């Protein structure tokens, strides 16, 4: 005989409501929802094996594989009515909503928590940017001018001049400025060529400039590439520091120098990323692209090789 109180778990399409098997213990329902939510996080690349609290509140957590003690993950999950939730990786900006039914509707409480989490993340980023900028100013003041390139092995290896770079302990230091000409970050280059930036410092849209303003401006990725380009042609060079930053930097430079011709000097790396990002940046502002003809080379490789071998 069928139990008159029994219901199958699922979606009532007529009323657009979720319902559960009322004969199944609530704790089993809750566990199932939590594990579904955890699996969706895992599929998105966020590993977390700790407790997930389904109370509708915003929770921060440590993403496995990230720096010890960091709380770069956030989630909110509720199981009342139609179970739904949201999670985010603060380091990458990955943000994803989830619900247990085929409905795309997300409860207002979850939407509210998403807005709170994003506002919190933006506030944290601004604070980290501020702290890094203050540190950049302090270190830059303590750094020492470089008299000649023989003072640092990286300059010798890359066959470039120091330009406005300085020395801080054993590292070459490159100042990074925002669109308002404020020092916001530093790049450190070891004698062996290892590179790092200040923790929490702003990089997106920020740059380093070599040379005075000219009618033609070249934009490239790395410092050595920029130095080689400037030494070869004497045109102003803007360094974006990586391919992913070319688009943001190019847009800022176009606003700052609306009358200049802009050429994106991309890397011809084997992955094709350098060429792709250079073309995207040029297309965005109506600029031009130059890529070294030899696969696997950037403009420093190409130009110094040309000087060395004639």
Sign of torsion, CA 276 278 279 280? positive
Q: What percent of the chain has pLDDT over 90?
A: 70
User: According to the model, what pLDDT value does residue 105 have?
Assistant: 62
94: pLDDT strictly greater than 70 = yes
Asked whether residue 27 is assigned to any structural domain, the reply reads yes
Task: Tell me how crowded residue 289 is: count the other CB atoms within 10 A of its CB.
Answer: 15
The answer to whether residue 71 is domain-embedded is yes
- pLDDT of residue 247 exceeding 80: yes
Residue 136 placed within a domain: no
280 belongs to a structural domain: yes
Cβ count near 136 (within 10 Å): 23
Of 75, 90, 106, the one marking the end of a domain is 106
Residue 172 lies in a domain: no
Model pTM above 0.85: no
Query: Do the domain assignments include residue 282?
Result: yes
**In this structure, is residue 248 part of a structural domain?**
yes
Mean pLDDT of the chain: 87
Q: What is the pLDDT at residue 7?
A: 40
Domain of 305, in residue numbers? 204-310
Bridge-partner residues for 188, per DSSP? 173, 196
CATH assignment at residue 235 = 3.40.1360.10
Select from 66, 82, 106 the last residue of a domain. Answer: 106
Q: How far is CA 220 from CA 172, 236, 239, 259, in A?
A: 19, 11, 5, 19
Q: Are residues 85 and 134 in contact, defined by beta-carbon separation less than 8 angstroms?
A: no
Backbone CA torsion sign across 171, 172, 176, 181: positive
Which of 64, 88, 106 is the C-terminal boundary of a domain? 106
Instruction: Count up the domains in the chain and report the number.
Output: 2
How far is residue 198's CA from residue 193's CA, in Å, rounded to a whole number?
A: 16
CB 226 within 8 A of CB 238: yes
């Amino acid at each position: 005989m069928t139990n008159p109180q029994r219901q199958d778990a699922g979606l009532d399409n007529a009323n657009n409501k979720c319902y559960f098997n009322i004969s199944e213990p609530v704790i089993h329902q809750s566990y199932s929802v939590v594990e579904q939510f955890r699996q969706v996080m895992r599929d998105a690349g966020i590993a977390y094996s700790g407790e997930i609290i389904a109370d509708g509140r915003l929770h921060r957590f440590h993403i496995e594989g990230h720096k010890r003690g960091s709380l770069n993950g956030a989630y909110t999950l509720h199981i009342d009515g139609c179970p739904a939730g949201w999670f985010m990786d603060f380091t990458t900006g990955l943000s994803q909503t989830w619900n247990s039914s085929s409905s795309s509707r997300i409860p207002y409480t979850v939407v509210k928590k998403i807005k709170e989490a994003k506002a919190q993340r933006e506030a944290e980023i601004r604070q980290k940017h501020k702290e890094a900028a203050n540190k950049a100013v302090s270190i830059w003041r303590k750094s020492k001018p470089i008299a000649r390139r023989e003072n640092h092995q990286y300059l010798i290896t890359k066959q470039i001049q120091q330009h406005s770079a300085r020395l801080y302990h054993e590292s070459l230091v490159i100042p990074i400025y925002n669109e308002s000409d404020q020092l916001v970050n530093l790049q450190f280059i070891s004698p062996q060529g290892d590179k790092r930036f200040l923790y929490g410092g702003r990089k997106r849209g920020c740059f380093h400039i070599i040379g005075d303003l000219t009618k033609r401006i070249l934009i490239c990725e790395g410092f050595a590439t920029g130095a080689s380009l400037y030494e070869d042609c004497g045109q102003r060079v803007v360094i974006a520091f990586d391919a992913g930053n070319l688009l943001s930097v190019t847009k800022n430079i176009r606003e700052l120098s609306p009358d200049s011709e802009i050429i994106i000097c991309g890397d011809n790396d084997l992955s094709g990323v350098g060429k792709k990002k250079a073309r995207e940046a040029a297309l965005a502002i109506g600029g031009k692209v130059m890529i070294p003809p030899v696969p696997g080379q950037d403009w420093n490789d190409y130009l110094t090789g040309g000087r060395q071998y004639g």
